[in-house]
């Protein structure tokens, strides 16, 4: 549909865009990405004809753009630039009506019934019909953007060229507009070329992306090219982490700000307090810990500060009642891991140990179930979190087998691995602990606690590999 061959151009003698070659297929959503100054707007102006190219060619359906008349261009291509000036005091409907000009015939260019039908439709899908008669100049920036998009859609183009189409839009209208564009792409085979700043939005909606860096493409491919963290850091000069979207098969990106130096943070053993009440035991940390857990409240991977065992007459998996109980007792449920227990909370023990110079703490509970919390003063990636989770699970199975405890199917045992994710000078401190060491530590603590059957919550410290109360 759109073919760009050896394109060069810019504003001065030295081209900003250098020898670009790419092709956009009919019915494709192609997103152009890159930081400010990378040449995105220059490329956009070259493609739309606002800037003359130094060399190279741009073809639409195999025909050079330079050979198309203005009317032919208007029937094939609609443009929504980042800065669209409307000089006269038109109403919203009049602005949108201008998009029908390429389709009008006759000397006086009157609107036909078909034109009015199209105008009403695009005003409806862009949700601007309720200020149809309002003056364009009094609208907010986001409302103006939607009106100008409606004008572009009123052209019924084959190709839609968009420079920051969601500029000035809030989250609601951003997704409404993009959902609508995807629907037009699907039902009308609309070809979309869009400059986008939001990498996550680009990942969700684009079919392919091009990463522009200093006037050249670093990579062109499907949205999974955005999983290359090192390349993104090179382009945007920001530490970027990628993860999978939980619902759709697309990557999402997380930007990492400057983080307080780890030397200024309280060591793990000094960073929590134990709140023991008649029917609960809680570890409350100064800072949130990145936690992997299967607990009724706080499950999955989350950042949590409160780790609670609650002895109440509700089912262990009744997270609604559990959350209600924590809320009543002043525990912020969105920052808390909570487990309901049916047993004596006096069988809860806390174990502290250093492994290879890293603080590691355990919270262990024995009752109708076995609950294990492992707290580590280090940075763990997702793989290490899951590795340590499996190591703790294997240690529990081994400890129970050696103690003659039969673990039946359907038990409500809960396990959590929580890491402080310490950074130093914005560089993460990798853990020096292995999966095997975590497993051995959990196994030793479980065996000691099972053998002694502690009658009250205790703090147990290990010295030279021997656990002592």
Per residue in 6-29, pLDDT (tens digit) is: 999 988 778 899 889 999 999 999
Query: Which residue in this structure is represented by tokens 């409404």?
Result: 176
Which domain range does residue 203 map to? 2-256
Residue 308 has pLDDT above 80, yes or no: yes
Mean pLDDT of the chain: 86
Same domain, 121 and 30: yes
| Final residue in a domain of this structure, among 199, 222, 256 | 256
**Strand extents, DSSP E, 223-299:** 239-244, 251-256, 272-277, 280-293
pLDDT of amino acid 142: 86
CATH of the domain at 421: 3.60.70.12
Task: Determine which helix (DSSP H) or strand (DSSP E) holds 232, and give its type and residue range.
Answer: helix 229-236
pLDDT band at 69 (very low <50, low <70, confident <90, very high): confident
Same domain, 220 and 324: no
131/153 Cα distance (integer angstroms): 18
Q: In total, how many domains does the chain have?
A: 2
- Closest by CA to 209, choosing from 6, 24, 464, is 24
Same domain, 201 and 289: no
What is the mean predicted confidence (pLDDT) over 176-188? 92
Same domain, 316 and 232: no
34/194 Cα distance (integer angstroms): 12
Residues 286, 267 contacting (CB under 8 angstroms): no
In terms of pLDDT, which residue wins out, 2 or 410? 2
pTM of this prediction? 0.82
| Final residue in a domain of this structure, among 230, 256, 282 | 256
By mean pLDDT, which of 8-22, 73-87, 386-400 is the weakest? Answer: 73-87
Same domain, 222 and 320: no
By mean pLDDT, which of 176-180, 255-259, 464-468 is the weakest? Answer: 464-468
β-pairing, 191-195 vs 159-163, is parallel
pLDDT of amino acid 84: 59
Same domain, 201 and 236: yes
| Final residue in a domain of this structure, among 256, 285, 313 | 256
pLDDT of amino acid 455: 40
Same domain, 209 and 287: no
Residues 33, 213 contacting (CB under 8 angstroms): no
Residue 133 has pLDDT above 70, yes or no: yes
Same domain, 291 and 397: yes
Residue 316 has pLDDT above 60, yes or no: no
CATH of the domain at 178: 3.40.50.300
Same domain, 220 and 279: no
- Closest by CA to 374, choosing from 382, 383, 390, is 390
Same domain, 216 and 270: no
Rg of the chain in Å (alpha carbons):
30
Same domain, 205 and 277: no
By mean pLDDT, which of 146-155, 172-181, 417-426 is the weakest? Answer: 417-426
Same domain, 164 and 43: yes
């Amino acid at each position: 549909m759109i073919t760009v061959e050896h394109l060069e151009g810019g504003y001065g003698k030295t081209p900003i865009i250098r020898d670009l070659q790419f092709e956009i297929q009919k019915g494709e959503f192609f997103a152009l990405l890159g930081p400010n100054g990378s040449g995105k707007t220059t490329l956009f102006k070259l493609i739309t004809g606002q800037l003359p190219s130094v060399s190279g060619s741009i073809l639409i359906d195999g025909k050079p753009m330079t050979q198309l008349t203005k009317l032919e261009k208007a029937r094939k291509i609609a443009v929504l630039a980042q800065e669209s000036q409307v000089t006269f005091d038109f109403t919203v409907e009049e602005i949108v009506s201008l998009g029908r000009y390429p389709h009008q015939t006759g000397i006086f260019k009157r609107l036909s019934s078909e034109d009015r039908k199209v105008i009403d439709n695009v005003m409806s899908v862009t949700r601007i019909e309720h200020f149809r008669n309002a003056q364009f100049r009094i609208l907010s920036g986001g409302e103006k953007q939607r009106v100008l998009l409606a004008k572009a859609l009123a052209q019924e183009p084959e190709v839609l060229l968009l420079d920051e189409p969601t500029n000035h839009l809030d989250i609601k209208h951003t997704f409404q507009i993009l959902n609508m564009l995807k629907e037009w792409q699907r039902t009308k085979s609309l070809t979309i070329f869009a400059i986008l700043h939001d990498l996550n939005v680009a990942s969700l909606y684009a079919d392919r992306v091009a990463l522009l860096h200093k006037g050249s493409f670093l990579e062109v491919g499907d949205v999974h090219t955005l999983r290359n963290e090192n390349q993104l850091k090179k382009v945007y000069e920001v530490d970027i982490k990628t993860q999978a979207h939980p619902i759709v098969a697309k990557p999402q990106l997380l930007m990492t700000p400057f983080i307080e130096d780890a030397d200024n943070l309280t060591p793990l053993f000094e960073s929590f307090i134990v709140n023991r009440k008649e029917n609960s035991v809680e570890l409350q940390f100064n800072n949130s810990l990145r936690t992997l857990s299967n607990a009724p409240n706080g499950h999955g991977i989350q950042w949590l500060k409160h780790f609670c065992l609650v002895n109440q007459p509700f089912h262990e998996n009744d997270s609604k009642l559990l959350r209600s109980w924590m809320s009543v007792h002043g525990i912020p449920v969105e920052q808390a891991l909570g487990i309901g227990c049916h047993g004596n909370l006096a069988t809860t023990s806390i174990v502290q140990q250093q492994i290879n110079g890293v603080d590691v703490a355990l919270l262990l509970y024995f009752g109708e179930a076995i609950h294990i919390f492992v707290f580590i003063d280090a940075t763990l990636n997702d793989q290490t979190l899951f590795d340590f989770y499996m190591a703790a699970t294997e240690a529990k199975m081994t400890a129970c087998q050696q103690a003659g405890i039969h673990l039946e199917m359907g038990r409500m045992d809960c396990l959590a691995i929580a890491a402080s994710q310490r950074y130093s000078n914005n560089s993460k401190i990798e853990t020096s602990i292995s999966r095997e060491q975590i497993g051995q530590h959990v196994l030793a603590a479980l065996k000691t606690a099972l053998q002694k059957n502690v009658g009250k919550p205790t703090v147990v410290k290990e010295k030279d590999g021997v656990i002592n109360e």
